[in-house]
Amino acid sequence: MPEANDDDGYYDRCFLCGRSVQLGPHKYDGKILQMYGKLLVCMSCYESNWDGWTPRDEQKIVAYCEEHGIPVPPSNNKGFLPRGD
């Protein structure tokens, strides 16, 4: 659950790197990955992996999906797990 902060909105942590992510008002530093059970990642992780998730990130995502019964999509044409755009 995000932490409430009256001045700056809500904050949560990036699933991949653990960085603090601001979620409003007027600033959204994260991306919700619906394909992977609504995981939150920071924009830095998301934008750095435009062609798919790195093997290190893929391990974390696959483990999370398996633990929560979420189907893991097939790799994209570059051999990476898709970002979930």
Separation between Cα atoms, residue 16 and residue 34, nearest integer Å: 15
Domain assignment present for 24? yes
Domain assignment present for 83? no
Domain assignment present for 35? yes
pTM to 2 decimals? 0.83
Peptide bond into 25 cis (omega under 30): yes
Chain segment 41-73, per-residue pLDDT in tens: 999 999 999 999 999 999 999 999 999 999 999
1 has a pLDDT exceeding 60 = no
Chain segment 21-47, per-residue pLDDT in tens: 998 888 889 999 999 999 999 999 999
Of the candidates 45, 39, 50, 38, which has an alpha carbon nearest to the alpha carbon of residue 19?
A: 45
Domain count of the fold of the chain: 1
Q: How confident is the model at residue 20 (pLDDT cuts 50, 70, 90)?
A: very high
Separation between Cα atoms, residue 28 and residue 62, nearest integer Å: 25
In terms of residue numbers, what domain contains 32? 3-68
